[in-house]
Amino acid sequence: MILAIVGPTGVGKTKLSVELAKKMDAVIINCDAMQVYKDLNIGTAKVTESEKEGIPHYLFDIRDVNEDYTVYDYQKDARRLIDHFKDKNIIFVGGTGLYLKSALYDYRFYDEVDNKKDYSNYSNEELYKMVLKKDPDSKIHPNNRVRMERFLNKTDITKIEPKPLYEHVIIGLTTDRDILYERINKRVDVMMENGLLDEVKSFYDKKIYSKPLMGGIGYKELYDYFDGKVSLEEALDKIKQNSRRYAKRQYTFFNNQLDVKWFDVDFDNFNNTINEVINYLEDKNDRS
C-alpha cells in the first residue's frame, strides 16, 4: 500500500506518519522540498532521530545546500524507492504537493537534450536574457551560470494532465484557520528557542547564497536580518507571515491537484486523530 500524508505546516504530519508506520510496518519517504537538504534542520522542522522511533526514513538529508535538486530529481529518487519497496507499505509525508504528484502520477519531464548547446561564449547577462525569454517567471539568479545553462538545455514539462501510476491513498490533516495560524506563529517561536538563529548564521557566515537558503522560509528572512536590512523582530514577523501564506498555497494545491481525504486534527488528544485515520484506512481496505 502507498499512503501519503499531506497538509499545511504544523498540523502533525510527522507524528501521524511515524505512528502509522509502526502499525503498518511501513517505510517513510520524505516529500518536503527543503528537507532533502543536509543541515537545514530547525528551520524545516525536520524529523529528529528520536522522533523516527526506529522507522526507516528516506530522501532526508540527501543533498548539500549548494547542490541543485529538482522535482525531476525527486521523481526519479522516489520512484526508485517505490520499486525497491514494492512488497512493503510506503508512507509519503510532507507538504510539497508537486513532489508527491510527480512521484505518483504520470508527470513527465524530459532530461537534458542529447546534443547540448555550448554556451561558453555567452555572458551571464546574455544567458539570463535567454532564460527570461524561455520562462519570464524564472527564479534562477543571473549569476548562477550552471543553472542557467542547464535550464536552457532542457525542454519543458508536458502540459498534459497526468494520471496516477500507482494505487495510493492520500490523507490530509487540517484544522481551523485561526488555530493553524496560531500554531504556525508558536512554531516559529519554538524554532528560535531551539537555535534557528545559530543554524542560519552558520550558513550566512560561510557566505552561502544557494537556492534553498534564498528561497526557504526562515532562512531568507534571517539573512536580511544579518544584512542589517530589518530588525530581528521584523524578520520573525516576516517568517510567520510567509509561513501562513505558504500554508494557504499548500491548501490550494492539495485541493485542486490531489484527491485528499481530510481529517480535522484533535490537538488536545492526537491519538483520536490517529485512530480516526486508522479506522478509515481499515474500512477502505475492507471495501476493496
Query: What's the pTM?
Result: 0.82
With a CB cutoff of 8 Å and minimum separation 6, the contacts of 269 are: none
What percent of the chain has pLDDT above 70? 94
- Which helix H or strand E contains 279, and what residues bound it? helix 270-287
pLDDT of 161 over the 70 cut:
no
DSSP 194-259: TTHHHHHHHHHHTT---HHHHHSTTTHHHHHHHTTSS-HHHHHHHHHHHHHHHHHHHHHHHHHHS-
3-state SS class at 137: coil
Axis crossing angle, helix 232-257 with helix 177-193, rounded to the nearest 10: 130
At the second CATH level, the architecture of 2-108+163-194+250-287 is 3-Layer(aba) Sandwich (3.40)
Residue 7, all three cell numbers: 497538509
Dihedral, 69, 212, 243, 46 alpha carbons, nearest 10: 70
Domain definitions of the chain by residue range: 2-108+163-194+250-287, 110-156
Please list the alpha-helical segments (H only) found in 107-176.
124-134, 145-152
Return d(Cα 280, Cα 264) in angstroms, integer.
Answer: 13
Q: Is 75 exposed, middle or buried (0-12, 13-18, 19+ CB in 10 A)?
A: buried
pLDDT score of 155 = 55
Which one has a higher pLDDT value, 53 or 109? 53
Residue 218's region, left for phi above 0, alpha for psi from -120 to 50, else beta, is left
- The helix/strand/coil state of 26 is strand
Contacts of 151 (CB under 8 A, 6+ apart): 131, 134, 135, 138, 140
pLDDT value of residue 151? 83
What SS3 class is residue 134? helix
* Higher local confidence (pLDDT), 161 or 86: 86
Q: How confident is the model at residue 115 (pLDDT cuts 50, 70, 90)?
A: low
C-alpha to C-alpha distance for 151 and 127, rounded to whole angstroms = 10
pLDDT tens, position by position, 11-33: 999 999 999 999 999 999 999 99
